[in-house]
Amino acid sequence: MEHPVISAASYVLCHTPQMVRYGSKPSREIAKDGQGVADRIGGALRSFDDAVAYPPNQVFIGNTSPADLRERERPWWRHPVADASRFSSWGEIMPEIEFLGLLKAADQFDVVHLRADAASDIQQALKRHPLGLAVEAERVIGVPPEKFDHLTRQPGSLPLYLDGYSGPVGCVLVGHDEDTNLVAHILLENLATKASAALAVRHLIAEHGLDPASIPYVLNCGEEAVGDRYQRGGGSLSKAIAEQAGLTDASGSDTKAFCCAPAHSIVEGAALVQARVFDNVLVVGGGSLAKLGMKFRSHVEKEMPILEDVLAGVAILIAPDDGHSPLIRLDTVGRHRVASGSSQQSVMQDLVRDPLRRVGWRFTDIDLYATEMHNPEVTEPSGSGNVPDRNYKMIASLAALDGEIGRDEIAAFVAERGTLGFSPTQGHIAAAVPLLGHALRDLKEGRSRRVFFLAKGSLFLGKMTNMSDGMSFAIEGREKPSD
Amino acid sequence: MDLEDQGLLKRVIDEQGTENVIVVLGSPDEESARVYAETVTTGDPSWAGPLAGVSLRLPVYHILEDEVRQEIDPAVYEEHVAMMEMVLDTPEITKAVRDVREKGSDLD
Amino acid sequence: MLRGKKAIIIGERDGVASPAIEACLKTVDTTAIFSLTQCYV
């Protein structure tokens, strides 16, 4: 059987401390408790340099490996990477000043406005960007102070801030006077996703020397809902992202399944390539504004900086077999079936055991499992524990229940076939795909032979079913593992 | 516990009362199990939500506790919970909930 | 202890989800009056 390949992946983080206030949790708490909460948030934000040097962020953009985290002392936020760089061969960590420029450039409806003095600085910053974001920079035009003040006083106008500038440097206006789905907050959420996803695509194109017109189809796996008063999530961001990133020949659609949408998208994209419907498919996901500062209370209580201060973006290119890139084994696709119910055990059987059995593999035939890669330093303070570690233990326990390993070998299985979490808690982004870049590198360099990806989505949050969802697949390298 | 969820919970208690009501948790670690257990016994320990200062004194259990397990049909428990008992730090989590219950619940 | 009681179930995605707890409690005739699964990621 032929299989498609994953030929490239890119990763970006956009550091947006001044947008933490617009995360769902912070904005609800500020609305209730007012300035006190806003001040506590303001006092716990990180500088750009701190975000760049934060060890998990360096792993996310591929400058260091997940294994490197094991060697680092915790808490990681107190132990920055000494030679950290904002750029990597997979992408970058972008400062807020540049990201505001991308937001402005992503807006085609005049809802984002920037104060003239800040706009000029933002434009200069974008012009210096190595990707050559000249088209974006040209769109960064500010408004004079008097007009700007007037805009910030419009009903529903949402102010934007920037470290080092006093007062608002920008604002987002409502998209429609009576449309609750086009309020400024929702437009900011969607523009932030569009801009961060498009940045990831730009990096992918640049780092791999691709022709932007060579990509016919884009699947967006982000969780943001684009729509209007008639269909709150009926729209699509994929084509908007494609346009923003200059993919002139592309169309696309969005795949929704909460956190497991990336896994669904990769399988769908692989199927479209395998069936020769399209020459290749680009899976993209942008950042989730709503998740910024989700656990800020615990971080502030424990006197840590608010670590949920970055928007993440990914782009993954699926192509026909090129003879050297790792294969997506379509015969190993696992899905969480309705009949499986909600027990973790049956979910894991559907997602891991059954697909492995189908191709005659054992749990130990997989060198590395890519599960929900949430950074434990973000989740532990709020009592959610270490999410990837727990997932690895579930897989190992299932292997033990099946008698493939002994119960006393669970810890060793986890240590050998698992890795530390490093992803920001950006919902879909954290679900398995952050490890894809590292997996591609390991598979190409022969350090592993098979990596298994599984993602789960909390469908019950939308109150339409009590079920969760899940999707999984293996990717396989071409080299034999080195001894 | 999330402030909104405390509000939901408070509404249910206001409607149903506390008589014959128990709470069963599925929290994944010791700290969150303790916070949830305290919220439904002595009140929200963070003093931020609608259950702050509200002493419900409900009998609270964790699904992983032995005494809970013993009552449940073993086949159903095996199917739905057994694997998580291996995965989670069961002794720590169940001890946390038991401690809170013994101090703060009105038991039968 | 559990039999015949009315239960408030607070499950968690990363621990035991509420439908799984509910399935267990059904075997002792415990009725769920409130069932919630938390998700913090």
How much is the ipTM here? 0.96
Among the partner-chain residues C17, C39, C41, the one whose CB lies closest to the CB of A430 is: C41
Residue A471: alpha-carbon gap to chain centroid: 17
Give the angle B88-B90-B91 at the CA atoms, nearest 5°.
145
Which chain A residues have a beta carbon less than 8 Å from that of B44? none
Q: Give the residue on C whose Cα is nearest the Cα of A381.
A: C40
Mean pLDDT of chain B: 93
**B95, B66 in Cβ contact below 8 A?**
no
Query: What pLDDT, on the 0 to 100 scale, is given for residue A472?
Result: 98
Q: How many CB atoms lie within 10 A of CB A1?
A: 7
Query: What pLDDT, on the 0 to 100 scale, is given for residue A214?
Result: 98
Distance of residue B41 Cα from the nearest chain C Cα, in angstroms: 13
Which chain C residues have a beta carbon less than 8 Å from that of B20? 4-6
| Selected residues 32-51 of chain A with any CB under 8 Å from a CB in chain B | 32
Residue A118's identity, in one-letter code, is: A
For residue B77, pLDDT over 60 is answered with yes
CB contact under 8 A, B86 and A393: yes
Q: Is B84 on the interface with A (CB under 8 A)?
A: yes
Q: Is A295 on the interface with B (CB under 8 A)?
A: no
Which chain B residues have a beta carbon less than 8 Å from that of C15? 25-29, 84, 88
Query: What pLDDT, on the 0 to 100 scale, is given for residue A481?
Result: 47
Name the helix (H) or strand (E) containing A440. Answer: helix A434-444
Looking only at the bridges linking them, the beta strands covering C6-12 and C31-38 are parallel
**Which token pair is A404?**
């493939």
Rounded Cα gap, residues A300 and A7, in angstroms: 41
For chain A, list residues whose CB is within 8 angstroms of any CB belonging to chain C. Answer: 259, 294-295, 341-344, 372, 374, 379, 382-385, 387, 390, 425, 427, 430, 456, 458, 460-461, 466-468
| pLDDT tens sequence across A148-192 | 999 999 999 999 999 999 999 999 999 999 999 999 999 999 999
Whole domain around residue B96: which residue ranges?
A: 3-104
| pLDDT tens sequence across B35-57 | 999 999 999 998 888 999 999 99
Which chain A residues have a beta carbon less than 8 Å from that of C23? 341-343
Q: Name the nearest CA neighbour of A117 among A166, A76, A153, A84.
A: A166
DSSP characters for chain B?
--HHHHHHHHHHHHHH-STTEEEEE--SSHHHHHHHHHHTTT--TTS-STTTT------EEETT-HHHHHHS-HHHHHHHTHHHHHHTTHHHHHHHHHHHHHHH----
Residue appearing with tokens 């992408």: A91
Domain A327-476 CATH assignment equals 3.40.47: yes
**Which token pair is B76?**
């159903």
Residue appearing with tokens 């006092």: A43
DSSP characters for A319-387?
ES--SSSPEEEEEEEEE--GGGTT-HHHHHIIIIIHHHHHTT--GGG-SEEE-B-B-HHHHGGGT---H
**Residues of chain A predicted below pLDDT 50:** 481-483
Residues 6+ apart with CB under 8 A from A271: A330
Query: What pLDDT, on the 0 to 100 scale, is given for residue A315?
Result: 98
Looking only at the bridges linking them, the beta strands covering A469-476 and A281-285 are unpaired
For chain B, list residues whose CB is within 8 angstroms of any CB belonging to chain C. Answer: 1-2, 5, 8-9, 12, 16, 20-29, 32, 36, 40, 58, 61, 63-64, 67-68, 71-73, 76-77, 79-81, 84, 88, 108
Q: Name the nearest CA neighbour of A174 among A186, A160, A184, A189.
A: A184
The residues spanned by each domain of chain C are 6-38
Which backbone phi and psi does A417 adopt, to 5 degrees? -110, 10
Among the partner-chain residues B22, B36, B73, the one whose CB lies closest to the CB of C7 is: B22
Looking at the 3D structure of chain B, how many domains does it have?
Answer: 1
Residues found in chain A: 483
Query: What pLDDT, on the 0 to 100 scale, is given for residue B108?
Result: 60
Rounded Cα gap, residues A464 and A228, in angstroms: 21
Residue appearing with tokens 């680009």: A282
